[in-house]
Structures are given as C-alpha cells and as structure tokens.
A and B are shown apart, each in its own frame.
Chain A
Amino acid sequence: GNSVTQMEGPVTLSEEAFLTINCTYTATGYPSLFWYVQYPGEGLQLLLKATKADDKGSNKGFEATYRKETTSFHLEKGSVQVSDSAVYFCALRGSSASKIIFGSGTRLSIRP
C-alpha cells in the first residue's frame, strides 16, 4: 500500500541556516505530494504541493521537488527563521484515492 517516510525529529537549527527535511514515499501510479505545517496548538496548514513528476512546489521560501526516480519530496529552505519553528508533515494522495497518507511529522526548532 501507499506509505510516507520522513526523517525523525526533532531538528534544531540556528536562524539563517539551510534546512532539509527528507521525505520518501511508496505508491503505485502517480500520487500527488504535499507538505503541511502545524504550529503549536493549531490545525495543519498546506505549505506546498506537487501533482506530477519534476514539479516544484514553493511557498514562503520553502521548496520541494517531486522526484519520481528517487520517490522523494524533500523540503528545503535556504535561510530559516525563528517563526518557522513548527511540525512539518509530508503526505501523499494516491491517483485514485480520496484519503491522504501522512508521515509521522518532523518537529523543527530554530534558535535565535
């Protein structure tokens, strides 16, 4: 079945550091891929998405590229800020499914 594996946290970085959070997936066909962000005490917000191979999703300085050859969708940001501290979830939706499969989440903490 479909599954998502993302790097375990917590990840702690200094402000202005480069961020990578790894995400790999297993799926048949051509799934859509998502990154969601959850700030403390809140629901999830869509950060970015990509719907086909080689697509790059981007938002608020974050980027992720849909790599079918490596079944990956790694999240990157060139210079993180304290306000980026949150939990990040990688997710996929199969091409014929209505359910989204979420990874276990990666907690990110940014030091001033």
Chain B
Amino acid sequence: DGGITQSPKYLFRKEGQNVTLSCEQNLNHDAMYWYRQDPGQGLRLIYYSQIVNDFQKGDIAEGYSVSREKKESFPLTVTSAQKNPTAFYLCASSRPAAGTGTDTQYFGPGTRLTVL
C-alpha cells in the first residue's frame, strides 16, 4: 500500500546529542514537509522540500537540518542547538501542483521525541 512511514515511533535523546528522524514515502510525491507539534498546539513548519536536492526553511528551522537526496526520503536531524526538542514530529508529502492550489498533504504517523 502507498503511504508515508516514519521511524522510530518513540525516540529518546540525551542532551547534547544529535538525532535523526526518518521519513519515507512511496506515493511518488515531489514535495515533503516536516512539522513540529507541541502539546495542545497546532503544527509549525520546520523545513520543506519541493524537489530532490532542494529544500527551504519553514517557520522554526533553527536547530534543525534536513537533506533530500532521494525523492522518497526526507530525514530530519535535530541538533544539539535545538534548545527545546521534546515534541511530536510529523512528516508529510504532497504532489507538486504548484500554482493550482489543489494539492493535499498526506501525513505519516509521527515520531515522539523526548530529551532526557
């Protein structure tokens, strides 16, 4: 079945460590996104990528990094520079449909990161 997978579901990190969250999609979507969700709050965009080998900062990119070497994969690294990384991280993807305003984002199941 087509979809988006994120791994691991739960992740624990010690302070000062970098950690990488995986996101893979087999929907043949060009665009991929990373969001952060804090308890009781909405989604905030961290990074997004519209095509392979290209990505842009979202609203809260500081302390995070991404790569987009393959169409199917968009890993997110939470670096030690991120001061408050404990949160629920959601990956999404969509068709390019730029200019039409009609593409829908499809979400993975999320990764809950806890800093110990």
Decide if A51 is an interface residue (CB 8 Å cutoff). Answer: yes
In the complex, are the beta carbons of B50 and A98 less than 8 A apart? Answer: yes
- Which of A11-19, A27-35, A71-79 lies at the interface? A27-35
User: Given the interface contacts A98-B31, A102-B43, A104-B41, does A44 sit within 8 Å of B101 by beta carbon?
Assistant: no
Say whether B102 contacts A51, CB under 8 Å. yes
Known: A42-B109, A43-B109. A102 touches B104 (CB 8 A): no
Q: How large is the interface on A (under 10, 10 to 19, 20 to 34, 35 or more residues)?
A: 20 to 34
A98's partner among B41, B48, B106 (CB-CB below 8 A) is B48
Known contacts A43-B110, A46-B106; is-contact A93 B42 (Cβ 8 Å) = no
The majority secondary structure among interface residues of chain A is loop
Residues of A within 8 A of B (CB): 29-32, 34, 36, 41-46, 49, 51, 89, 93-100, 102-105, 107
Do A103 and B42 contact each other (CB < 8 Å), given the known contacts A42-B110, A98-B98? yes
The CA-CA distance from A31 to B103 in the complex, in Å, is 11
User: In the complex, which of the residues A34, A99, A105 has the most CB atoms of chain B within 10 Å of its own CB atom?
Assistant: A99
Residue of A36, A96, A102 touching B99 (CB-CB under 8 A): A96
Set B33, B41, B90, B104: member contacting A49, Cβ < 8 A: B104
Within 8 A of A (CB), among B12-56: 31, 33, 40-43, 45, 48, 50
Q: Which residues of A contact B112 (CB under 8 A)?
A: 41
The residue in chain B whose Cβ has the minimal distance to the Cβ of A94 is B101
- Check A43–B48 contact: CB distance below 8 A: no
Residue B63 lies at the interface, judged by CB distance under 8 Å to chain A: no
CB contacts (< 8 Å) of B43 on chain A: these are 44, 89, 102
Q: State the Cβ distance, A87 to closest chain B Cβ, in Å.
A: 9
CB B30 to nearest CB in A, in angstroms, measures: 10
Asked whether B105 is an interface residue with its Cβ less than 8 Å from the other chain, the reply is yes
CB distance from A93 to the nearest CB of B (A): 6
Q: What residues on B are CB-neighbors of A32 within 8 Å?
A: 101-102
